[in-house]
Structure 1
């Protein structure tokens, strides 16, 4: 006789309106929770790339993608049309990511129901709501939340097709197009083919189904091939990883999904508990667990191996699409520990207690993600714009510290919040980003625009607190003096007036 969990998992492949309603509700609640505080943090450099790309005219955007950021092209194209309707505020631009996070949560529950039954599905869905990597990417104007949703729903579709013994071409065409577009959305989603191979091996479908899957994978490769070829020519984009040394034990085991060490300790303990308790079971429960564990481990291991032996390619954010697997692995642990208690009510109480403990441990990270300076270690681009708008007057000039790396350039405040700089003369601007094939504005050195600077009695210098660009010194050499400074979070705004001769 099949165990209760196995019977529940088997039923998970058949239509069940209450279960579908519960999964939908988990996605809606999860998306709503993610929306909390979505507009509070200032934009940061990577989000600036998204917004500035989306705002380009379509021909300019397409030209950009042939030169740089092809791996984000599908997301930029979507965002181009979205911001045309919704605008470019933090809330508007991040809102689609919160929706995608809700879809990822619902997908986690839906896949959990297929593989393990409704009890684990609900647990995993709740875990996903609290998972720091998911709650972070849900308020990030990048494609990572979309990648989570694509990965989990594509896996759900594959399991469904295999269990139905599906061989009709139209359904495998849906899978092929979805798989190909997911790679176009974010190239590292190609690593999901390893996870899907494990699905095929553990489900042991008839050969005709295996052939259909292999054909769909080949077709997906054809869909994604142009993007892969284009992206391979843009590998210089990730050259910065050489100097970041992201592949550390703490990043892989803690920051990649859990944010803080105490959440990581609880989460990994539950993952181990899931491994131990699941191995005691058999049948589809164990097979489903192998899929989850492969998803949890294989993409990270492959990137770490490539990072060590080929060229730098590891970044914690790049593995965000594994967050659903993390939630499912933790969900197995919660369910496995609760199963030791006799009585349905007590099992529910144990599972609920573990989920509450995980939520409480994750709550400080959730709150920290939604503070003014939460992005990129303290991005204050909106605060720069607010300070300039408050203190500067029409006809003044403004210059920006250009000595930092692109994502930290203070000039991004002008690009993201242009209304705050209305009436000011951006004296160093040579070419707007939209008129170049690159991501950023092209700027002339200060010593090449002396005449333009001297045409203004007041100049505002936006400088980093961590570097010394020399702009203030150069302006003083031109006869200006600092009359006031306004310290911000990681920026100082200087007001300089030209001394009368």
Structure 2
């Protein structure tokens, strides 16, 4: 029995690590969200603190962690993404332990292995962003809650619970939506007064500690102004997830007052999803990555479906029942193979920050100018500064590091116009038409207008969502 308990979490963890290491480098590509992590992690601690006062404070703890890892192991796609792989493996291991404790080893194994196979999990499994770490924290806090409810232990377990919720909240404060999910579990299981008191104390302490971050980050909400308002078609995905989870909960035969997979998994799946929908009615926030941790609940409930099938077959065909889980995993792998391969290709993301740098190196001439439209495309230079050596960033007034921003501070439109008219050759780094958004900023409109009026494009290269165009001054415009 003890050996089965170890395998219940070890196999899902090893399985998830193998999925994470598969194609981890994505051919050396780094997309724009990961580029933010990369460039911030390479700054000094003082520069990171300066930046957090202006932008991205919600990810501050994650950036400091990645800074430490880059200092220790050097900047690389492995250092960038391996923490997410290991964190997802921890989350899968937690699913395995919870499922085993509540419904048996097969439910734990099936749920733990299912977690790593979920398409959204496979995407963020190899992402240099904090969402997998938040999922690991959610898995650990849920496991701690199950432990105190099952074994009625106190003291250090509640301290660990509150600390885990706090750390997850510091990684992304939307992870605090796990607390109402756990509240639903306590109500479902009719927890005693002592448990309620200790849970409330730990939850209030964790929330109060994260509250300053929440309040401060509200002042930086312009960062997420690009998120579209909630529409009905956005609800299709959550509805499908809840339907699958509901089937698993019914198969678990949930009863009020009993700690079960349904009592833990269904609230863990449903409450964050519904909570994010509710918040999105106030301010657009509906992105699946913000509640990636809710898929822990879905994995638990999928484990129940597979475990129920094994239990149904075992009395009549005990030998055959042992092959149900391997068969389901094999079928799922085959069915998801196109998606799995796609998510591990450079084209799986909207762009590749570094792919265009080889064209920049080939097309540039010493003393040429370079422009970025929009200015956020300067992340290509921030991630690969050597590719831009010898080029003059003529629109830049203050570097990202000195300005405490991600994209730097550019000069006013008149100064940009004057600087452009003094150039004979300009490289423009921008988005490909497929992913480009309309130019709206006045500085960017000035750049585009001057290029069209006074310059001619003599070379144009497009690769993986990024574009570099070489412009030369027209003889008639000199």
Normalised TM-score (structure 2): 0.88
1:422 is the counterpart of 2:397? no
Q: 1:8 maps to which residue? A: none
Pair 1:374-2:348 in alignment: yes
Moved more, 199-208 or 83-92: 199-208
- Aligned runs of 1:476-491 on 2, under 5 Å? 477-478=453-454, 480-491=455-466
How far is the alpha carbon of 1:55 from its aligned partner? 2.5
In 2: Cα distance, 1:154 partner to 1:470 partner? 51
Residue of 456, 459, 478 corresponding to 2:426: 459
Query: CA 1:293–1:435 in structure 2 vs 1: closer, same or farther (change >3 Å)?
Result: same
Q: What is the rounded CA distance, in whole Å, between the counterparts of 1:319 and 1:252 in structure 2?
A: 14
In structure 2, what is the Cα distance between the partners aligned to 1:138 and 1:75? 16
Match of 2:442 in 1: none
Q: Which residue is equivalent to 1:72?
A: 59
Contact 2:356–2:466, Cα closer than 8 Å, also in 1: yes
Alignment partners' CA distance in 2, 1:437 and 1:301: 35
CA RMSD of aligned residues (A): 2.8
**Corresponding position of 2:16:** 30
Q: Is the 8 A contact 1:97 1:138 kept in 2?
A: yes
> Is residue 112 of structure 2 the alignment partner of residue 128 of structure 1?
no
Indicate how the Cα distance of structure 1 residues 285 and 348 shifts in structure 2: closer, same or farther if over 3 A, else same: farther
Q: Distance in 1 between matches of 2:161 and 2:430?
A: 50
Q: Helix, strand or coil for the counterpart of 2:209?
A: helix
Going from structure 1 to structure 2, the CA distance change for 1:211 and 1:315 (only over 3 Å counts) comes to: same
Aligned equivalents of 2:222, 2:474: Cα separation in 1:
46
Alignment of 1:83-482 (within 5 A): 83-168=70-155, 170-241=156-227, 244-249=228-233, 251-254=234-237, 271-279=245-253, 287-308=260-281, 310-341=282-313, 342-376=316-350, 379-402=351-374, 409-444=376-411, 447-449=414-416, 452-453=419-420, 457-466=424-433, 471=447, 474-475=450-451, 477-478=453-454, 480-482=455-457
- Matched-pair contact (CA < 8 Å) for 1:165–1:206: no
CA contact (8 A) 1:31 1:103 kept: no
Deviation at 1:198, TM superposition (A): 2.9
Match of 2:41 in 1: 54
Separation in structure 2 between the aligned mates of residue 485 and residue 351 of structure 1, nearest angstrom: 52
CA distance in 2, matches of 1:358, 1:370: 17
Change (3 A) 1:336 1:460: same
The normalised TM-score by structure 1 is: 0.84
CA distance in 2, matches of 1:422, 1:58: 25
Of the structure 1 ranges 443-452 and 429-438, higher mean CA displacement relative to structure 2 is found in: 443-452
Question: Measured at CA, do residues 457 and 235 of structure 1 come closer, stay the same or move farther in structure 2, by a change above 3 Å?
Answer: closer
Distance of aligned partners of 1:203 and 1:245 in 2 relative to their CA distance in 1, 3 Å threshold: same
